Amino acid sequence: MNFLERTMTTTIQIVINLIHKVILKSINAVKNHFIQISLKGYLHRNHVQFSKDLRILGWVKFIIPKESQVQIGKAFICRGRGYGIEPGLPSLISVNKGAKLIIGDYSGISNTSIHCKQEITIGNYVNIGGW
């Protein structure tokens, strides 16, 4: 292979890699958008109070029965699998029937499990887990 052929081959490989990265980034953005929509729908159906700026990134699981009381403050960010310091770990928020979970404004969790048996209150500006 001469210099020109090697250069063209390398250039084509770089372009293919860039296209691949852009496509994967777009797919992940669309996937995360649908995850947020479906989880916000679940929270709404189960009478969870949350603001419209709630952000859910990655794989997060909520187990919140309608009989519990859950309030999530402004600008709460929940990072799960694919995000945070340990991208392989999901986040989980589980609340028992009749239990009460209150999360303050501007707080967040990353790769964290919260299991509320009776009552938990997390204040404002609290971050739990690795960011």
- Cα(103)–Cα(100) distance, rounded to whole angstroms? 10
pLDDT for 123:
97
Read off the pTM. Answer: 0.75
Integer Rg of the chain from CA: 20
Exposed, middle or buried by CB within 10 Å (0-12, 13-18, 19+), for 109?
buried
pLDDT in tens, 21-63: 888 888 878 887 888 888 899 999 999 999 999 999 888 899 9
- Cα(97)–Cα(88) distance, rounded to whole angstroms? 29
- Cα(67)–Cα(35) distance, rounded to whole angstroms? 24
Higher pLDDT, 1 or 23: 23
What are the structure tokens assigned to 77, written together? 């960010």
pLDDT for 68:
96
In the chain, the number of structural domains is 1
pLDDT in tens, 2-18: 887 888 888 889 888 88
Range of the domain at 39: 3-129
At 84, is the pLDDT very low, low, confident or very high (cuts 50, 70, 90)? low
1 pLDDT above the threshold of 80 = no
64 pLDDT above the threshold of 90 = yes
What are the structure tokens assigned to 25, written together? 């980034």
130 pLDDT above the threshold of 80 = no
- Cα(82)–Cα(28) distance, rounded to whole angstroms? 10
pLDDT in tens, 100-116: 999 999 999 998 999 99
Which runs of consecutive H residues, i.e. helices, occur in the chain? 3-45
